[in-house]
Amino acid sequence: MSNNHIHSSSAPGKDRPHLQSDCEACFGLCCAALPFAASVDFAVDKDAGKPCHNLQADFRCGIHLSLRQKGFRGCTVYDCFGAGQKVAQFTYGGRDWRQAPETAKQMFDVFPAMRQLHELLWYLTEALTLQPAHPIHDAIREALDETEAMTRLDPDSILSLDVAAHRAKVNVLLLQTSQLVRDEARRRRKTPPGRQKFQERGADLIGAKLRGADLRGVSLRGACLIAADLRNADLRTADLIGADLRDANLCGADLTDSMFLAQAQINAAKGDATTKLPRSLTRPSHWVG
């Protein structure tokens, strides 16, 4: 199936650079605001609000080029959807938490809320490029404008938002979008409605043997695909929102028209030069080939 069957002619990645991380314009917020625990992803424990010991005075990471080798794989997976630079440069006007330590706690609390809002902006912006969802584009655009307005509020107002409630409202539109796109894909392929096997959100597919599987038009929302074998699988028009792809093998897989896939999911997976990605995403440097 060619891209123009499902997507508009515009490349999503070109339309949302502000929703992609720009660490140069941030104050190391993910390195200071967020907690992590010693595990396969992090070499040490760190409390929320405590700067990582690898964070330098200029807000750069002291081990950026060797994070995986030194036990900080989790840092190479994380993506803030551009929330870091939004908080740093817009919400706080370029004044960092070291210059103004009295703002540190509030800034660290605002950052996770902003990240959730920017994640919603990522999905809503993509939804507007999906032609089968045209009947609800007005509603999607309204939700996009409302979410964008929330990101432009002052810190106190952001912290007073019920982000969970707003996320639930947006999710209704994303579900409708997914259904419209996947229904259209099935109609084009004349696929019986009963073909899909993974309709339940959060399907347990840990280590699943799905090599070469035709997963077009399948809902994998929230599916646990940790270490799944997805080599050469066809995931075009599959809904992958929230799917856990840690260590999933995507070598040779086709994800070009998959829906609601984020950079962090790709960063957590395994792939190679033959993996086909949506134009909005970047091939991780740690992938082979």
What are the structural domain ranges in the chain? Answer: 15-184, 199-289
CA distances from 29 to 1, 49, 194 (A): 41, 9, 46
Helix-, strand-, coil-residue percentages of the chain, each rounded to 5? 45, 5, 50
pTM of the model: 0.90
Cα dihedral 121, 123, 126, 130 sign = negative
State how far the Cα of 147 lies from the Cα of 117, in Å rounded to an integer: 6
State how far the Cα of 197 lies from the Cα of 203, in Å rounded to an integer: 10
Structure tokens at 12: 């999503």
- Give me the average pLDDT of each 10-residue run along the chain (289 residues): 37 65 95 95 95 96 93 94 97 96 97 98 97 98 98 98 98 97 86 55 91 95 97 97 97 97 96 95 87
State how far the Cα of 177 lies from the Cα of 132, in Å rounded to an integer: 8
Per-residue model confidence (pLDDT) at position 62: 95
Cβ-contact 228, 207 below 8 angstroms: yes
- Please tell me what DSSP assigns to residue 286: T
The amino acid present at 159, given as its one-letter code, is L
CA distances from 129 to 141, 161, 202 (A): 11, 28, 26
Per-residue model confidence (pLDDT) at position 188: 82
The angle subtended at Cα 45 by Cα 21 and Cα 120, nearest 5°, is 30
Per-residue model confidence (pLDDT) at position 289: 67
**Rama region for 253: left / alpha / beta (φ>0; ψ in -120 to 50; rest):** beta
State how far the Cα of 141 lies from the Cα of 163, in Å rounded to an integer: 18
Expressed in angstroms, the distance from the first to the final Cα of the chain is: 26
Q: Which of 159, 240, 245 is nearest to 201 (CA)?
A: 240
Q: Which of 34, 187, 247, 95 is nearest to 230 (CA)?
A: 247
Per-residue model confidence (pLDDT) at position 6: 43
Q: Which residue is associated with the tokens 């999503």?
A: 12
Q: Is 69 exposed, middle or buried (0-12, 13-18, 19+ CB in 10 A)?
A: exposed
94-115 burial code (b ≥16 CB/10 A, e <16): eebbeeeeebbebbbbbbbbbb
Per-residue model confidence (pLDDT) at position 13: 42
CA distances from 147 to 69, 124, 142 (A): 38, 9, 9
